[in-house]
């Protein structure tokens, strides 16, 4: 018997989000569609939220071998979108290593619009194979805050960078609505973690991570992230240089710091101590107008607390997108 309903034109794993600015000056969903194994949930928007909030989910909390996710996002002029998750995105092991789990994200951000993508980290299981490509095309007045991070796996199961392969590629493009203009590539940041096909004599993937349980990248671009980008650059510039020594005694240092420190300097001192104790390493640089922050830590919680403390100390992400945009880094 033929179905009375029209056939679906979308494929498994496909999704699309369109966000617009409503007449009452509140960002709102114009449309949102998805197909298994992708799942998207968006609570009702309110003026005080600052942006539309969308949860990026998958059935069962992860992706099984061979799953293909293709999500496209279109953010209309002056609209704002925040994307979060409800836990680590788990990558389950395939039956054979030639089965690849893939996730592709294509985003268009129009003039004075913005996207804040601060998800939980990806957690690849032992022998899993995962490839991710995220492409962001921004007009000159658009803004982007992107966090992309990956963990060592399930430590409770003894996993320590035991997956087969993990590839993450983030591209930032400058674009224009002018018919004769061409898109310009600003940044292509690719991380390749391969535990199987390593050069002869090179250390294993686990050894090359030097005790880190998580590594990640934060990319900032546009007027809405200008303040937080400058904050990262300033804090990185204020860090003690390699080889620098403080010849004061611990008692003298504590006494002088307690007397002369401003609130920011006091916070910085505590943060630097936490970075030493929790083995947090990071760097920040300006690349073609994009602020690129690279970081790693001995535990996932140390990385989460560090990136969250940086974003909340400066405060502009919460003000521009709403506090709900930071839920995955608290």
Q: What is the pLDDT of residues 92-105, one digit of tens each?
A: 999 887 899 999 99
pLDDT in tens, 145-200: 999 999 999 999 999 999 999 999 999 999 998 888 899 999 999 999 998 878 88
pLDDT in tens, 250-262: 777 677 666 677 8
Q: How confident is the model at residue 201 (pLDDT cuts 50, 70, 90)?
A: confident
The beta-carbon contacts of 177-181 under 8 Å, at least 24 apart in sequence, are: 177/110, 177/139
Q: Given this model, what pLDDT does residue 245 score?
A: 60
Q: How confident is the model at residue 246 (pLDDT cuts 50, 70, 90)?
A: low
Cβ contact 149:110 at 8 Å: no
Q: Given this model, what pLDDT does residue 45 score?
A: 73
Give me the percent of the chain exceeding a pLDDT of 90.
78
Q: Given this model, what pLDDT does residue 116 score?
A: 98
Distance CA 287, CA 221 (A): 10
Tokens of residue 280, six digits: 């947090």
Q: Given this model, what pLDDT does residue 60 score?
A: 80
DSSP state of 176: -
Distance CA 91, CA 129 (A): 8
Give me the percent of the chain exceeding a pLDDT of 70.
92
Kindly tell me the sign of the dihedral angle through the C-alpha atoms of 169, 175, 179, 181.
Answer: negative
DSSP state of 93: P
Distant-in-sequence, close-in-space partners of 252: CB < 8 Å, separation ≥ 6: none
User: Is pLDDT above 70 for 4?
Assistant: no
Enumerate the β-bridge partners of residue 144: 115, 221
User: Is pLDDT above 70 for 8?
Assistant: no
């Amino acid at each position: 018997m033929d179905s009375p309903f029209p056939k679906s034109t979308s494929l498994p794993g496909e999704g699309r989000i369109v966000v617009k600015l409503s007449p009452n000056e509140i960002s709102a969903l114009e449309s949102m569609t998805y197909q298994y194994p992708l799942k998207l949930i968006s609570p009702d928007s309110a003026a005080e939220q600052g942006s539309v909030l969308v949860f990026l989910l998958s059935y069962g909390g992860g992706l099984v071998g061979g799953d293909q996710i293709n999500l496209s996002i279109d953010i209309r002029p002056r609209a704002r979108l925040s994307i979060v998750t409800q836990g680590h995105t788990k990558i389950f092991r395939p039956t054979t290593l030639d089965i690849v789990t893939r996730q592709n994200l294509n985003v268009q951000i129009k003039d004075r619009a913005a996207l804040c993508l601060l998800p939980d980290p990806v957690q690849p299981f032992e022998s899993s194979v995962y490839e991710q490509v995220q492409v962001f095309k921004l007009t000159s007045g658009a803004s982007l805050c992107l966090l992309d991070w990956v963990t060592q796996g399930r430590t409770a199961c003894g996993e320590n960078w035991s997956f087969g392969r993990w590839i993450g590629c983030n591209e930032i493009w400058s674009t224009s609505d002018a018919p004769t203009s061409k898109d310009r590539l600003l940044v292509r940041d690719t991380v390749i973690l391969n535990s199987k096909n390593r050069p002869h004599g090179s250390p294993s993937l686990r050894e090359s991570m030097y005790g880190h349980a998580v590594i990640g990248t934060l990319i900032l671009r546009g007027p809405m992230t200008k303040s937080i980008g400058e904050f990262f650059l300033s804090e990185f510039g204020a860090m003690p240089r390699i080889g620098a020594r403080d010849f004061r005694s611990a008692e003298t240092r504590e006494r002088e710091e307690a007397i002369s420190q401003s609130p920011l300097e006091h916070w910085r001192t505590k943060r630097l101590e936490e970075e030493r104790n929790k083995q947090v390493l990071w760097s920040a640089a300006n690349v073609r107008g994009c602020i690129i922050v690279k970081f790693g830590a001995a535990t996932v919680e140390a990385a989460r607390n560090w990136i969250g403390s940086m974003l909340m100390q400066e405060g502009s992400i919460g003000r521009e997108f709403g506090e709900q945009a930071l839920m995955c880094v608290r």
